[in-house]
Structure 1
Amino acid sequence: MKILVCCGNGLGSSFMIEMNVKKVLNELNVEAEVNHADLASAKGIPSDLYVGTRDIASQLEGLGGEVVSLNNMIDINELKNKLEEGLKKIGKL
C-alpha cells in the first residue's frame, strides 16, 4: 500500500505530516510505503491514499486513491481518526 502526503508548494509541511502518518501507522500496526510531495508532483505518483490539508484536498480528488482531508495539520488525533477512516474505506484496516 502506498500513501502520499501532499502540500501546496514546498515540501516542509508534507514532510512533517508524513512523519506523523508513520507514527500513527506504527500505532495501528499497518505497513505502508509513505512519501511526501508537492501538489504538482502528486499527479504523477499513483497512491492508494492521499493525505493533504483541506485547502488542497479537492485537487487530490480524481488521482485514483482515497483522499484524507485534514483541517489542522498538527492535530495528531484528527490525523489518526481520519487516517483510520481512510484505511477502512480502502480495506486496509
Structure 2
Amino acid sequence: MRIVTVCGMGFGTSLMLKIAVEGILQKHGMRAEVVAWDLGSVKGQPADVIVTSRDLERHLAGTPARLVLIDNLTDKSEIERKLLPVLQALQGDGDGSGA
C-alpha cells in the first residue's frame, strides 16, 4: 500500500502529515510506504491513499486514489479518525498487504 501526503509546496505540511501517518500505522501495526509530495508532482504518481488538507480537494479531483481530507492538520486524532477506516477497508480488499 502506498500513502502519499500532499501539500501545496511539498515541504512542511506534507512532511508533518507523513510523520503523523507513520505514527498511526505503527500504533495499529500496519505497514505502508508513506511519501510526501507537492501538489504539482503528485499527479501521475502511484498511490492508494492521498492525505491532504481539505482546501486541496478540488486540485485532486479525478485522482484514482482514495482521498483523506483533513480540516485541522495539527489534530492527530482527526487524521487517525479519518485515515484508519480507509486503511482498514483497503486491507480488507486485499490491497494493503505492505510496503
TM-score (norm 1): 0.91
Matched, 1:45 2:71: no
Please tell me whether the aligned partners of residues 11 and 38 of structure 1 are also in contact (alpha carbons under 8 angstroms). Answer: yes
Which letter does structure 1 place at the counterpart of 2:76? I
Shift of 1:39: 0.5
Partner of 1:59: 59
Amino acid at match of 1:49: V
For the 8 Å contact 1:53–1:73, the answer to whether it is kept is yes
Q: State the distance in 2 between where 1:82 and 1:24 align.
A: 11
Residue 6 of structure 2: aligned partner: 6
**1:77 and 2:94 correspond:** no
Contact 1:6 1:42 in 2 (8 A): yes
Cα shift at 1:57: 2.2
Deviation string, structure 1 residues 26-66 (Cα, Å, up to 9, x no partner): 00111000000001100021100000000002322322110
Q: 1:18 to 1:42 in 2, by over 3 A?
A: same
What is the letter of the counterpart of residue 55 of structure 2? D
Match of 2:31 in 1: 31
Q: Which runs of 5 or more structure 1 residues have no equivalent in the other structure?
A: none
Percent identity (aligned):
36
Query: Distance in 2 between the 1:30 and 1:44 partners?
Result: 25
Q: Look at both structures and tell me which one has the larger radius of gyration over its CA atoms.
A: 2
